Amino acid sequence: MLKISNLQVKYGKIQVIWGLDLEIPKGSVVGLLGPNGAGKTSTFASIAGLVSPFEGSILYNEVEVTNLNPAKRVELGISLVPEGRKLFPDMSVKDNLLLGSYQKRAKSKRKESLNRVLTLFPILEERLNQQARTLSGGQQQMLAIGRGLMSDPSLLILDEPSLGLAPIIVDDIFNAFKRINEEGVTILISEQHVHRVLEIIDKGYVIEQGRIALSGNAKELEGNKHIREAYLGI
Amino acid sequence: MNLDIIFNLILLGIIIGTIYSLIAMGLSLIWGVSRIINVAHGEFIVIGAYVTYYMFNTFHGDPSLYLIPSGLVVGLIGVIIQLLLYNRIVGRDHLTSLVLAFGVSIVLSGSMYILFTGNLRVVNSFYSEKSILIGSATVRWGAIYGFFIALILILLVFLLLEKTDIGRAIRAIAQDKDAAILMGINPQRIYLIAMFISAFLAGVSGNIVAVLYSFDPGVGESSYLGISFVITVLAGLGSIKGLILAGIFILTAQNFTSVYAQGLETAMGFLIMILFILFKPTGLFGKLLE
């Protein structure tokens, strides 16, 4: 579904991604693991079209999207739930969700998408008219995921979705990811809770200093000595 | 001071204040959405006044007929200026955009002096000549006309911003541009739409002030820009409720000043603004001005 080849990204003179290759099969859950500052967010930003790589290509469903603007990529079905949620704090929960379906294709399926999100996160239905800033951290994350789903994506990218959340909430949203994936949405997720994410991914890439250090399925990664020492603390 | 006078000052404060809320609304919208302080806003209003003036002198009839045309002409001018100039500096610091907007303001007022001369113009109609007595206050029909037009337009803008997809997108860009881009919103398009609305409102305001007051190309800066600025700061960016209250509050305060300390009305407006900047920089209801 998504194929990244030789991705290279610079911010000014500082290069942060050095020839990254990554492949996401349709219907899978793929993890991008690695420490802070390794380049996970920059990789996601390149996929969503927020930064332009100076080298490399991104193919989405066999279509070259490397130079498309973010709006076109949303229309094609790529949805990024950014790190730190980036909600519209002074707008209602409902307005936040509706903004997720701003694009034409999503707008025609708005009712269905809204039902789907509210079934997935019933707590949001009770808060529809509240301002997003009044939600708890966990609810805000649910809203961010829900907003991402409102665009009716085929590829949902989740950047550090459990950051700062209580473990019990993390269980909830990870369960939601499983259900979203079962509904046919391909998921790309970055996570610092590596043991957590290993439970749900089909395949994982470990990114270090802007390069893929290793990759494999969950079992392989779990058994890898480097992963165990650096990320799992075993 | 007797109660009649106090009643009159407050009544006029509400009526004229609401009109000034509309006058300030366009400035506030562009400031909040594009982060440009469009100091050419005053000239936009005066262009609207000239459109009404020339259409009225050519076709006669009721000046309200020229309300929408004035809005459309200025709206179009706003769109052209956005495309040619403001799009280039969106996202830069306030100094850059201020310098450019000052340039636009000077070019527009200079062009108007050349095209329309500096003679004071008035639109002599029923609205400026006839008055109505409300309690003990004599209110010109032009003020009543402006008050209702302003109320209707403010309500329409409120509904547009709150209830439509475009309105939500405009608010989204104002609150968090990066997040809005993630939603698939194209900022350039929103800046253009916001500018059209802003300039349209300025043109319509021009129709109202043409009916109410005499004008020349210089009044945009001297009579309308400063007070729009004061009302916008007092209201806080992003709050329509704030705009209405701020407009009424400032105009009422100025009315009282005109009785106690004639000549200091404008200074009073700025004094209130400075006090707000010192003690409540987000304005009455603002969320956007850090």
How many C-beta neighbours within 10 Å does residue A27 have?
Answer: 14
CATH of domain B3-279: 1.10.3470
Q: Residue B290 has what pLDDT?
A: 45
Instruction: For residue B58, give the 3-state DSSP assignment.
Output: helix
- Summarised one tens digit per residue, pLDDT across range B75-126 is 999 999 999 999 999 988 889 999 999 999 999 999 999 999 999 999 999 9
Query: Chain A partners of B171 at a C-beta cutoff of 8 Å?
Result: 88, 91, 95
In the predicted structure, residue B286 carries a pLDDT above the cut 80: no
Q: Residue A176 has what pLDDT?
A: 96
Q: Residue A35 has what pLDDT?
A: 86
CA dihedral A145, A147, A149, A151 (to 10 degrees): -150
CA-to-CA distance for B81 and B64, rounded, in angstroms? 26
- Summarised one tens digit per residue, pLDDT across range A147-168 is 999 999 999 999 999 998 999 9
Report chain B's mean pLDDT, rounded to a whole number.
Answer: 94
Query: Chain B partners of A102 at a C-beta cutoff of 8 Å?
Result: 165, 168-169, 183-185
Bridge partners, residue A157, by sequence: A80, A188
In the predicted structure, residue B289 carries a pLDDT above the cut 60: no
Chain A: closest CA distance from residue B176 (Å):
7
Q: Is residue B183 less than 8 Å (CB to CB) from chain A?
A: yes
Interchain pair A99, B183: CB under 8 A: yes
Determine the length of chain A. 234
Mean pLDDT of B237-243: 90
CA-to-CA distance for B108 and B50, rounded, in angstroms? 12
Tokens representing A127 are 């808060």
Q: Collect the ranges in chain A with pLDDT lower than 70.
A: 234
In the predicted structure, residue B159 carries a pLDDT above the cut 80: yes
Q: Is residue B84 less than 8 Å (CB to CB) from chain A?
A: no
Q: Is residue B182 less than 8 Å (CB to CB) from chain A?
A: yes
- A104 Cβ contact partners less than 8 Å away, ≥ 6 residues apart: A75
Instruction: For residue B75, give the 3-state DSSP assignment.
Output: helix
CB B198 within 8 A of CB B38: yes
CB B180 within 8 A of CB B167: no
Determine the length of chain B. 290
C-alpha distances (whole Å) from B78 to each of A4, B47, B83, B85, B199 are 43, 11, 9, 10, 5
Q: Residue A234 has what pLDDT?
A: 66
Q: Residue A195 has what pLDDT?
A: 82
Q: CA angle, B285 as apex, B282 and B290 as ends, to 5°?
A: 25
Based on the number of CB atoms within 10 Å of its own CB, is A225 exposed (0-12), middle (13-18) or buried (19 or more)? exposed
Q: Is residue B290 less than 8 Å (CB to CB) from chain A?
A: no
B187-212 and B3-34 are packed helices; what angle lies between their axes, rounded to 10 degrees?
A: 150
Mean pLDDT check: name the lowest of B14-23, B127-136, B157-166, B223-232.
Answer: B127-136
The sign of the dihedral angle between the CA atoms of A54, A55, A58, A62 is positive
CB B69 within 8 A of CB B51: yes
Q: Residue B75 has what pLDDT?
A: 98
CA dihedral B171, B172, B173, B174 (to 10 degrees): 50
CA-to-CA distance for B174 and A69, rounded, in angstroms? 20
Q: Reading across the β-sheet that carries A55-60, which strands appear in turn?
A: A14-24, A2-11, A55-60, A63-64
Query: Chain B partners of A48 at a C-beta cutoff of 8 Å?
Result: 182
Q: Residue A188 has what pLDDT?
A: 97
Cα Rg of chain A, angstroms: 17
CB B88 within 8 A of CB B102: no
Query: Chain B partners of A106 at a C-beta cutoff of 8 Å?
Result: 184
CA-to-CA distance for A176 and A145, rounded, in angstroms? 9
Q: Is residue B178 less than 8 Å (CB to CB) from chain A?
A: yes
Q: Residue B287 has what pLDDT?
A: 64
Q: Report which DSSP code applies to B239.
A: -
- Quote the ipTM score: 0.91
